[in-house]
Structure formats: C-alpha cells, structure tokens
Amino acid sequence: ILSNGIFADDYHVVTIDWNPQRSQWFVDGNSYLTIDITGADKLEFHENFFLLFNVAVGGNWPGSPNSSTVFPQKMYVDYVRVYKNTDAIPNISMVTPSNNSVFTSHENITLTADVQFQGNLQAVNFYQGEKRIGTTDIEPYSITWRNVSPGCYKITADAITVDGYVSESQTINIQVGELCVDAPYSGNPVLIPGSVEVENFNLGDPNSAFYDTDIVNSGGDYRLFDQVDIEACSDENGGYNIGWTETGEWMNYFIEVEETGTYVIEPRVASDNSSGALRIEFNGENKTETLTVPSTGGWQQWTSISSSPVSLNAGIYTIKVYIENGSFNLNRIDIYPPNAQPKLNLIYPSGGETLGKGTIQEIRWRAILVDDVSIGLTTNGGQSWNFITQSSSSEFGVYRWLVPDITSNDCYIMIKDEANSNIRDTSNSAFTIDFVNSVTKNGELNYNFNLGQNYPNPFNPSTNIKFSVPEGGTSDLFQNHVRLAIYDVLGKEVALLVDESKSPGTYEVELNAESLSSGVYFYELKMGSLSSIKKMILQK
C-alpha cells in the first residue's frame, strides 16, 4: 500500500468513503480497495458500526511472537473525524401529531412528516416502535393510521432517497384512550385470515404482554429492550424470528377474526432437535392442544406444523403462544381456513364516488395470501388501462394516490396480484374524477373535501386559507365537525382557526401571525377520517 517505508515511519491518513452503494478505502489519498455493498450478502454494511483500533500481536500471517519481538508496542492516533454528506441526506421531522398528544380510543390518526431535501425521495415510512405501519411517496408526506387501539405508542418516520440514503425523525409519544394498557404492537389487531408475525407481540409490561426467563434480548436485532429474544430470519420474506425459547415463556397478541368459520393454525418453526413443543390459547382456551416441533435440520431451516381444524367466531381475541418445551425458533403463525386461496377485495374507491382532480386519495383493499399488488386506472370504462403503480406491498392494504388532472365519469380502479394477474378485483361501478367543487344536474354545488394553499405565501403577518366541507352525512369518511389548526415544525399547535361543525360549502379564514416567529409552519384540516396538510412560510 505504501510506495516506500513502513507505517511506523510517520502518521498516515486512513479514509473510508462509505455510501449505500459502495465502500472505498484510501491511504494518504490513494484508493486501494472498492467493494459493491448493494448485494444481499452485504447487508451488514448497512447496519450501525463502531470504530475499533486494534494493536494485534501474532496471527497466521506474521506468526507468533518470539524472543525477537519488541515490546511494548504503541499506536498513536492524532485524530478521528467523521463527516456526513448533508447534501445527500434528507432532513426529516414529525409534524403531526405533536408530542404527548392524547386521542380517543379507535380514532383515525393523521401522521405527517416534513422532509427538507433537494433531491429525489424513494419513500417516507412511518413506524410504531420498529414496526412499519405505513408508507408514502407523495408530498405532503402523510398517512392515516386507522382505528387505533387503546395504548401508548412511539411514532417515528424515516426518509429514503433514490440513492439509498436514510434519515430518521425524532420520536413522538402519543396516548390513545385513558390508560397505557396492553396494545397491539402495530396499533391494530392482526386481521384473520392472516399471519401473526411473532416478533410483534403486544406492547405492555413483562408478565402482562409477554414473559421471558431472562431480561436480555439475545438476538438484539429488533425490540432490543423488550426482553424477548429476537433475531434476523432467513425464512421466506425474511424479517425476524423469536429464538432461544425456554419452557414456560409466552407472548400475547391481539387478533381480529373477520368471519365465523373453521380455521387451521400453522406455526412456522425451525429446530436442530425434536424436543420443542407449544400451544396457542384464544382468550385462555387451548385451541391447538400440544403441537410438537420436529427437527428441521437447523435453526434457520423452516417448516410449518398444523393444528386440527378449529372453530372460531368473528371477533377480537387475545391469543397466547405458550412454550411448553423450549429449544426451537418461531417465525410466524398462519391462521387461515383449510385450503385457503389468494384473494383481493378492493374497498375504495368502489364506485359512485367523486374524486377531486389533483387531490390525494387513498386506494384501499384487503389482501389474503398476496404479497405485492399492481394497481391500474381506466378513465374510459375499461377500454384502456394505465398503471398507477406496478408494484406496491399489500401489507398495509392502502396506496396513497395523486388523482390525475382529468375529467371523467367512467373511471375504475383495478388491483391485481403482482405474481398472478388472474387474482384481481375492480371497482363495483364507475366513479367520477372532476373539479373539487362540481355542479349537480340541478345546478347546485357538489362540495368535496379540500384544503387550498394559503395566499399570500410567503406572508407577513396575515394570510388567508380556503377550505371546502363536503356533502356526505356522518359516515366513516364524512363527519361534520371541522378542525383547522396551525403547527410549527416540531408539531406543536400554535393556533386553532376552526373547531366547530360546518355545513357543506367553501369557507375562508384569516391567520394573523403577529405573535409568531419567522419560519415554516403547517396547517391541517381535519373532518372525521379526512385530513389534509399544507406548508406555509412566515417571513418577517
């Protein structure tokens, strides 16, 4: 590496230039090694690292010390400098909800992040703890976290650039309901038919949400401070598994059975021996009896074991996975009707709706045994189709969509299994894309939910905000109570402009910001489960 001499002759600058695509090593500015770190076998280069300075003595290459070896030996370090390419890394912060917010049980909660970045983003993801609960690639970066169960949650977001750089937001603590009770880790019970990922056991205290024989997460890859032993999993679809199981340990999960019927319960297991056993209880009732875990040939060699068919009534259950005899790994628990087949059910838009052109809408569906979906749109009754997205994870059952700037009353959405195009569903009837406020056949205005950009923007000290309240009654999508609030970049509410019931129509309010400091602010319009957020700039 050195053109002459040895390292002990002088100080040398050793450099690593590390980005999501490659790592390159230099000595005194001369590159001597570059490796591509984008492959699946280089995942460790995308984890957190620490610096280690090592004065090694002996080894296979130099050989063992002998009488000629000089002791003591010393390493002199003048400095260690770590730089971050701030131009390549976005700056992300949670905007709503504000820290320590309290919501009513089963409320729909809007999560919004602000991203300051000049380049192109791949996605903004939202998390409860370490479980991703939603994603979007459309600004403003916001999702609706629906029907959230009572409990206390920690919300974060991250932004990923198209080059693979990732930055994380601050953590927002929120409470849903009156107490910090045991809660599903994702905020919602797992829908059945479906799969329970065992690493996502309930939030709560030891001996209430889970029990582990020691207080250390031996795997250390996920939920590090929750004691249960979790490690990276090499089974299909990756993820994590619970390992180091011991007799008497257990984990609780909330599930929601959608339809009364017969189901088969299939834990996915791996073991290097045949001594393991478990059972699964539903609201305290042993539904599986004892399930024996066979030797699978290794701790990451996976197979499914099955219960006898069991009858389950529709409703919400607490299931307990109880380790009767340990020494096996557990990845997930599949709960499906016998011989279940992949299925897609498009929920929204189903037909008859009017969507404002240029607005942001959610396409929602329910998927069973489907990993990824493609979504198409026709505006001519099915004569031709265009992709909205060729690939989206079906995990969340929602895709955030920017409605095109067109006008048509013959629109349909089609959602299909990316792996099998024969598995699909389409809107039951046509829906309309039109102006936000369209005219009915009777000449009356048909108002839709809309939040306009404030004017002027930037402003000092006053600006006006227009919004429209839709027709629709008191369904899940429409409630007549309107709330328009102003937030700073940390998510703190600094002004409340509207907090009352409004009849359908278009309104305009004024914000006087004489008491506020210059900077970026956000304003949010909420009405039932509908919400919209926009950014404005105060320049004094």
pLDDT tens per residue across span 168-221 = 999 999 999 999 999 999 999 999 999 999 999 999 999 999 999 999 999 988
Calpha distance 523→112 (Å, rounded): 11
Calpha distance 232→234 (Å, rounded): 7
Phi, psi of 199 (to 5 degrees): -70, -15
Pure H helices in 258-316: none
Which amino acid is present at 416?
Answer: K
Q: Taking residues 368-377, what's their average pLDDT? A: 97
> Which one is predicted more confidently, 43 or 344?
344
pLDDT digits (tens, 9 = 90+) for 129-175: 999 999 999 988 999 999 999 999 999 999 999 988 999 999 999 99
Query: What is the value of pTM for the model shown?
Result: 0.77
444 vs 17, 92, 362, 448, CA distance in Å? 63, 43, 27, 13
Dihedral of the alpha carbons of 334, 338, 341, 346, in degrees to the nearest 10: -70
Calpha distance 134→127 (Å, rounded): 7
Q: Are the C-beta atoms of 505 and 446 separated by less than 8 Å? A: no
Burial of 130 (0-12, 13-18, 19+ CB in 10 A): middle
Contacts of 257 (CB under 8 A, 6+ apart): 192, 263, 312, 313, 314, 315, 316, 317
Phi, psi of 40 (to 5 degrees): -65, -25
Least confident of 370-379, 399-408, 431-440: 431-440
Least confident of 278-292, 461-475, 516-530: 461-475
Instruction: List the one residue out of 512, 525, 524 whose CA is nearest residue 468.
Output: 525
Which amino acid is present at 291?
Answer: L
Calpha distance 389→373 (Å, rounded): 8
Burial of 385 (0-12, 13-18, 19+ CB in 10 A): middle
Q: Which phi-psi region, left, alpha or beta, contains residue 490 (left: φ > 0; alpha: ψ -120 to 50)?
A: alpha
Calpha distance 327→269 (Å, rounded): 11
Look at residue 474 in the predicted model and tell me its pLDDT: 40
Contacts of 456 (CB under 8 A, 6+ apart): 463
> Which one is predicted more confidently, 419 or 435?
419
Calpha distance 187→203 (Å, rounded): 9
Q: Predicted confidence band at 475 (pLDDT cuts at 50, 70, 90)?
A: very low
Q: Taking residues 523-540, what's their average pLDDT? A: 84
